[in-house]
Amino acid sequence: MNYQLLIESYSFGIALSDQEIELLSLELETQVMNINISTDFDCFKSAPSHICEGLNLKKDTYWIMCLAEILDLHKSTKLGKTKSVEVFDLLLEKGLVIG
């Protein structure tokens, strides 16, 4: 299943299974690894407003940040940075966001 459909479903209030969370986690890992290859992937485009709003994120938030936010909500980090912070720092480093 497309990760964007899972994110959209979740933003409308549909719970995600453990398997779907794991798929999203693998998707995020893949996107982070590919950031050094290209930033032309869909994950670096803005998610639709209704998805950002459903996740309580700013309008025009990148898909990759929506993905990280969902993972943070489902997989708490006891030590270190959250996925959202890790992804934001990486985007900042690549010049894709302004801090």
* Average pLDDT in the chain: 90
Question: 18, 1 in Cβ contact below 8 A?
Answer: no
Amino acid letter for position 96: L
Digit-by-digit pLDDT tens for the chain (99 residues) are 599 999 999 999 999 999 999 999 999 999 999 888 877 788 889 999 999 999 999 999 999 999 999 999 998 777 788 999 999 999 999 888 876
Provide the pLDDT for residue 99. Answer: 67
Instruction: Give residues with Cβ within 8 angstroms of 95, minimum separation 6.
Output: none
Question: 72, 88 in Cβ contact below 8 A?
Answer: no
Chain-centroid distance, C-alpha 98: 17
Helices 18-34/3-11 angle, 10° precision: 130
Residue 2 is given by DSSP the state -
Going from N- to C-terminal start, the domains of the chain cover: 3-93
Provide the pLDDT for residue 85. Answer: 93
